[in-house]
Amino acid sequence: MLTSLIMLGGGLAALGVALVIFCRNRKRYRHWLSASGLVVELISEIREKSGSEGGRIEVFKPRVTFCTALGETVEFLSTYASRPAVAAVGETVQVLYDPVKPETAMIDTFLSGHMAELFFVLVGVAFIALFAYERYAA
């Protein structure tokens, strides 16, 4: 019984964290602007694989240049690395940027803007599903 309540509490807490992050990001990005950017370089990084396989994997961070609404050219390195790369060198990507600090820009993809919320939603749903299974399947 106690384990079930801990799972339920953990699930609800994770969903609460996801909601807080979503609200903070929505408020933060509300005043950001959109622009077209150009991928000018892919920075390669070697990372350790997780899990039982071990080993290493090469991931890529795009370096992007774009023009702000005021005509200023800005270049930034994405904080997210992926394999395969989100875009090839020379490809156009949508960029979101803070007009006050345009160097804090990011590539406008669903995952780049919502990775943390998605993680906490999945954890919350998993805990609540375990709670329901333990509670009602027994």
Tens of pLDDT along 117-127?
899 999 999 99
% of residues, the chain, pLDDT over 90: 59
Give per-residue pLDDT as tens, 49-100: 776 667 888 999 999 999 999 999 999 999 888 889 999 999 999 999 999 9
**pLDDT interval class at 109 (50, 70, 90):** confident
**pLDDT interval class at 35 (50, 70, 90):** very high
| Token pair of 122 as six digits | 């999945």
**Phi, psi for 82 (deg, rounded to 5):** -150, 165
Tell me the C-alpha to C-alpha distance, in Å, between residue 3 and each of 8, 12, 100, 125, 129.
Answer: 9, 14, 48, 16, 13
Q: What is the pLDDT of residue 98?
A: 95
Q: Mean of the pLDDT values across residues 91-113?
A: 90
Helix (H) or strand (E) run with residue 41 in it: strand 33-48
Whether the pLDDT of residue 132 is over 70: the answer is yes
Preceding peptide of 84 cis, ω within 30°: yes
Angle formed by the axes of helices 110-136 and 2-29, to 10°? 160
Place of tokens 């090469």: 58
User: Alpha helices of 1-138 — where are they, by DSSP H?
Assistant: 2-29, 110-136
**pLDDT interval class at 138 (50, 70, 90):** low
CB within 8 A of 45, min separation 6: which ones?
58, 59, 60, 61, 81
What radius of gyration do the chain's Cα atoms show? 20
CB 20 within 8 A of CB 28: no
